[in-house]
Amino acid sequence: MLRKPILKLLGISLFLLSACSQETNNPEEQIHNLVSAMETAVKQRSLESVKELVDSEYSDEWNGSRRAALRALMLYFQGHQSIYLLTRISSIKLNDEATAASVTVYVGMAGDPVEKSESLIDLNADLYRFDINLVLDGNDWLVSSAKWERARLENFGF
C-alpha cells in the first residue's frame, strides 16, 4: 500500500529540512530545532530541501533508497494540498561521540490546522510514531534510516 511508505517518509522529512542551519553546538538542541523547522518545511511541501538533507546511503524497509523515498514524498505532496502537523519528541539518544542519534517523534497529521493535542481527536488525525536514525555529516544532521508505526492518543499527552 503506497500510503504507508508515504506517511513514514513524511515523518522522516520532519527531520530533514533544517539540518544545514544549526545555530547551537548542543546536539540535542540541534535536533529539537531540526524537528521544528522540518515541521514548517513539510507544511510548505519543499521537496528540494528534503533532498539535500537525506543521507545518500539512506534506506528503509518500505522505499529502500533515498531516491524512492523522495519519490514517495513527492506523491504525498501532490495528493495533499494542505498538510498540518503536530509533533512531539519523545526521546533523543546520542551515541558516545555525538555523531549519530536515534530520535522518536510522535506526529499527528491532518488536512486542517492542528493547534494542540486535543485537536487531534476532533480532526480525526492520523497518528504515528517515527523512529529515526540520524548521522552527523560535518556540521549537518542527515537522516540515514527510519521506521514507523501507528500511535495512540496517549502518546500525545492524553
Question: What does the pLDDT look like over 31-59, one tens digit per residue?
Answer: 887 777 777 777 888 988 878 777 899 99
Where do the structural domains in the chain lie, given as residue ranges? Answer: 3-156
**Cα R_g (the chain), whole angstroms:** 14
Which H or E run contains 10? helix 3-13
Residues in the chain where the model's pLDDT stays below 70? 1-23, 118, 158
Q: Which residues contact 61 (CB under 8 A, 6 or more apart)?
A: 147
Written out in words, the top-level CATH class of the domain with range 3-156 is alpha beta
- pTM as predicted: 0.80
Question: What does the pLDDT look like over 3-14, one tens digit per residue?
Answer: 555 555 565 555
**Could you write out the DSSP letters of every residue in 83-143?**
-EEEEEEEEEEE-TTSSEEEEEEEEEEESS---STTHHHHTT-EEEEEEEEEEEETTEEEE
Q: How far apart are CA 145 and CA 135, in angstroms?
A: 9
- Which of 42, 41, 152 has the alpha carbon at shortest distance from 106? 152
Cell of 96: 558516545
